[in-house]
Amino acid sequence: MAGQSAVILGLEGPVLGRDEAAFFRAANPYGFILFARNITDPVQLTALTADLRACVGADVPVLIDQEGGRVQRMRAPHWREWLPPLEQAALASDPIRAAWLRARIMAAELRACGVDANCAPTCDIAGALTHPFLRNRCWGEDVATVIPQARATMDGFLAGGVLPIVKHMPGHGRATNDSHHDLPTVTASPDDLRAQDFAVFKALSDAPMGMTAHIRFTAFDEAPATQSAAMIELIRKEIGFNGLLMTDDIAMQALAGSIAERSALAIKAGCDVVLHCNGMRAEAEAAVEASGTLTGAALARSEAALTARCTPAAIDIDALDAEFGSVLGQGLHG
C-alpha cells in the first residue's frame, strides 16, 4: 500500500495503548511483530491483532517467531509446545511429512488469533561449530536434508494462510557467535558457500518473504549482509529471491551505529523493510524516519507478498494431530 513506512514494528506490551496506537497510525508500518511480552492468552491475542490492524486501517501482516523449541512466543497451556526443528527431524519416521504437519497445525493456531506471518523456516545448515543459539533451530546438517524439510514447512504455512519468512539469508549456519551480541564473520570460500549455504535459499527462492543475516561474508564484502549491496545483489540475482526482503532485528548488536544509521544502511543496500522489535519508542521513531516509505520495486514486492495469504481450506485438526503424533512415534508435544 502506497505511503506505508518501510518498517515492521514491535510493541510494548499485551495491550495497545492510546498513545502507542497514535504513533503506529502516524508511522503506518508495513506490519507488526509480536513477542512473549505481547501475549497472555487466545482472547487477549485475538483482540490485540485486531486492534493493531484497526489502528492503521489496513489488513497488515502480523508476524511472530514461532519456530519451536525455545523460540516460540505462543506457549502452553494455551497453545502446543513444539520440539526444536533439529530434534524433530531426528525423531520423525517421515521427517518431510512431519515438517508439513507441524507447519499446518501451527498455522491453524496462529491464524485463529490473527497472526498471519511466521519468521520460519530457519533454512540455515547446522554444522559442528554452529553457535548454540542457532544450531537446534535448523532442520539438518546438509543441503539434502534441509531443503525438503524447509520446503515442507513453507508449504504447510502457506496452506494454512500464514506467510513463511525464510531466514537467515544467505545463510547463518557457519556463524560461531551470536549475532544478537556480536557480528559473526564467515571466511568460507565462494564455492563452499554456493554449494551449501546459498543452495538452500536458491531452492526456496519462491518464498514470499525472507530475512537477512547480520553476518559478514569476507569472500564477498566486509559489511554485514544486511547492509551489503553486494550481498543483497547476490540474494536477488544469484539466489534468485524476488520476495519481500526484510532485515533481521535492526537493534541486534551485530550491527554498529545508531538505529537510524543501521536502518538507512540496510535500505540503501537493498533491503525492502527494516525490522525493529523491542517496542522502544525512540528507537522505533528513528527506524521509521530513516527507512522511508515503500516505493518502486520494494512496494511491488511488499504487495506481491501479501497475495500469498490464502484463506485456508477446512481441516480436521484432530486427524492432523493424530498423524503428527504417529509420525513422531509419541504424543504431539514430544
Residues taking part in catalysis: 180, 248
If we measure between CA atoms, which residue out of 251, 245, 250 comes closest to residue 233?
Answer: 245
C-alpha span between 98 and 64 (Å, rounded): 21
Could you give the residue ranges of the DSSP H alpha helices within 63-179?
85-91, 95-112, 132-135, 143-159
Q: What angle do CA 266, 256, 242 make, to 5 degrees?
A: 20
257 CB burial (10 A radius; 0-12, 13-18, 19+): exposed
Rg (CA), the chain: 19
C-alpha span between 293 and 273 (Å, rounded): 9
Cβ-Cβ contacts under 8 Å for 145 (sequence gap 6 or more): 89, 95, 139
Cβ-Cβ contacts under 8 Å for 285 (sequence gap 6 or more): 23, 27
